[in-house]
A and B are shown apart, each in its own frame.
Chain A
Amino acid sequence: MQARFHKFVRFLPAAIVFVVLASCEELPDAASTHEPRGLTGLRPDLVSVAPGEMQSPVRIAQDKQGRLYVSDYQSQSVVMLDAGGGGVFVAAAFTVPGNPLGIEWAKGNLLLVGNATTRTVDVYRTTNGKWFYSLGGVGAIGDPSDIAADSDRDLAFVVDGEAFAVKVFDLRNGALLYTISGPGPGSYYLQNPTAIALDPSRGEVLVSDFGDPAVSGSPPSVKIYTYEGDHVKTLSGKSGMLGQKFSRPQGLAVDALGRILLVDAVAGEVLVLDRQTGNVLETYGTLGSGPGELWLPLDLVVDDNQMLYVTNNRPRRVEVFSLGG
């Protein structure tokens, strides 16, 4: 415990750069101090979330220009955020017909949104928030908890929590190509998958998995597969007999150094894991509701400037950290 705590303290001060997008009552509303850059051509009736008013931010994605997209579960909206000028602020938002979960940007200004109510993954145009087509059609995905896309290979990987599997779709026509895992025993199969990330350079799929909390042989883990679905390795959340590195793994990403960034929803921290050993290299954030603190963090993205954006569900914010420091 002692060693871990030291590591944590050492990295923390450098880590927190600024905290933005305050939307809860007690914090100043950063959004109001910026003139929203706003998407042009967005119909006002599509906007349901006023700037600074996210209700339940869940997943986050980023496009090539650096704009962020957040699925807001309770307000049934997709919120678009602009980062820059020392802050992050709501630029625009559009409503979706139900509660959105997974979200991902793909080339051609496409936004893939998993809808827990309609049980579909709907593809919208980021330019006007208009529905374009749906992956696999109605009923293809029971619980579209998270999405990752490889635009170069025209592939979309969708976590279906209900099927305990990752479903792979062709981005060009929305067809279901194949399925990775499915329920099964041991550390090879997905037990309770929650979130997903891709490592295109290695052609690998990384999946956060709660494991089966009722079965001692199924700890929480990050499971790595090839794009084709062959199991590569499993990084367990357990360490030693009683220790734990993470217990409720959610959103994850691979950074420029090939390290795995992972949020633990209960612990309120972002872990940086060594891809080979699974060792914890650094942590960012700590449990709480104040600036730089995380309370039910659910997802993250890291950009080319080593900035880390984390959806902070309970405080209804996006938290920003600078990696490395």
Chain B
Amino acid sequence: MRWLLLIPPLAAAVTLALLFGLESGDAASAVALNPNHECSFCHGLHGGNTNPLLRGASIEATCLSCHGPAGTAILADVHKNDPTGNSCCAPFRVTCMECHDPHSNQTNWRGNENLKLVRANITGANGTRPVVLETRSGDFSFCDLEGPTGETGYPQAVGEYDNVCDVCHANPDLARHHLNSDKQHHQSPNTCPSCHTHDNAFSP
């Protein structure tokens, strides 16, 4: 009996959930789950089956086995230098788990759920910052110039830099609505990923 105590409660929960085929909603599941995913999508896969927990490189491989090229779900890639070779910057790489929590749409500081499994806090060069990704007037809160009640020019969450991209790109010229930017395309009302697409590593 004592060995049971050695298993962290979460690990025990996933082991149980996987052993008995329990899915979200079952009492044994430790976490809320996005309806698009089931525990078995990511846990108990071959290669990781000696250990129900996912670690390191196998996490990205797990996500991309479905969300990568020749996968079976909607495409996404890590955030990295522009693959066409026109990168602005030194080599960098932001992987899935840095922006997403595969277990739930986390509750953000406004008390609402973030969309698309995006974390409530993201850590980058500017430290750990809160993130808000909600539907706002039918649009995500990326660089929308519209306030909660429809006013235009609304600087969303003043001083918070809490859009998914802002948290790392806290550069007013670039990331924050680009109102004073010489980069004219950044003054558009489009969301950042509409131009910087996810399957192209968020490159322009």
Contacts and interface: CB of A to CB of B under 8 A. Distances in A.
Interface of A: 1, 25, 50, 53, 55-56, 58-59, 73-75, 99, 101, 116, 145-146, 161, 192, 194-195, 210, 213-214, 216, 237, 242-248, 250, 264-269, 287-289, 295-296, 298-299, 313-314
Contacts of A195: 70
28 contacts: A53-B85, A56-B69, A58-B70, A73-B69, A74-B69, A74-B83, A75-B83, A161-B72, A194-B70, A194-B71, A213-B41, A216-B21, A237-B46, A242-B44, A243-B49, A244-B49, A245-B46, A246-B46, A247-B47, A248-B45, A264-B46, A266-B45, A266-B65, A267-B45, A287-B58, A295-B60, A298-B69, A314-B61
A288 B45 contact: no
Given A244-B45, A247-B45, A247-B47, A268 B61 contact: yes
**Chain A binding site: helix, strand, loop or mixed by DSSP?**
loop
B46 A266 contact: yes
A100 B28 CA distance: 43
Contact of A287 (B19, B21, B38, B61): B61
Contact of A210 (B19, B50, B62, B72): B72
A214 B41 CA distance: 8
A268 B70 contact: no
Contacts of A213: 38, 40-41
Contacts of B84: 75
Given A1-B50, A101-B69, A296-B68, A266 B19 contact: no
A72 to B, nearest CB: 9
B38 A296 contact: no
Interface of B: 19, 21, 38, 40-41, 44-50, 57-58, 60-62, 64-66, 68-72, 77, 83-85, 91, 200-201
Contacts of B91: 25
B49 A265 contact: no
Contacts of B44: 242, 244
Contacts of B57: 268, 287-289, 295, 314
A266 B70 contact: no
B47 A268 contact: yes
B70 A267 contact: no
A125 B106 CA distance: 51
Nearest to B47: A267
A25 B91 CA distance: 8
Shortest Cβ-Cβ A-B pairs, 7 listed: A267-B47, A244-B46, A248-B65, A73-B69, A247-B46, A247-B45, A74-B83
B61 A295 contact: yes
A247 B72 CA distance: 13
Nearest to A298: B70
B63 to A, nearest CB: 10
B contact face: mostly helix, strand, loop, or mixed:
loop
A266 B72 contact: no
Contacts of B45: 244, 247-248, 266-267
A74 B202 CA distance: 12
Given A237-B46, A314-B57, 15 more contacts: A25-B91, A56-B69, A58-B70, A145-B70, A194-B70, A247-B45, A247-B46, A264-B47, A265-B65, A267-B48, A268-B57, A296-B64, A298-B69, A298-B70, A314-B61
Contact of A313 (B19, B38, B47, B68): B68
Q: Which of A1, A245, A264 has the most CB of B within 10 A?
A: A264
B38 A214 contact: yes
A21 to B, nearest CB: 17
A53 B85 CA distance: 9
Contacts of A59: 70
Nearest to A209: B72
Contacts of B65: 248, 265-266, 296
B83 A55 contact: yes
Contacts of A289: 57
Contact of B70 (A55, A101, A244, A287): A101
Contacts of B50: 1
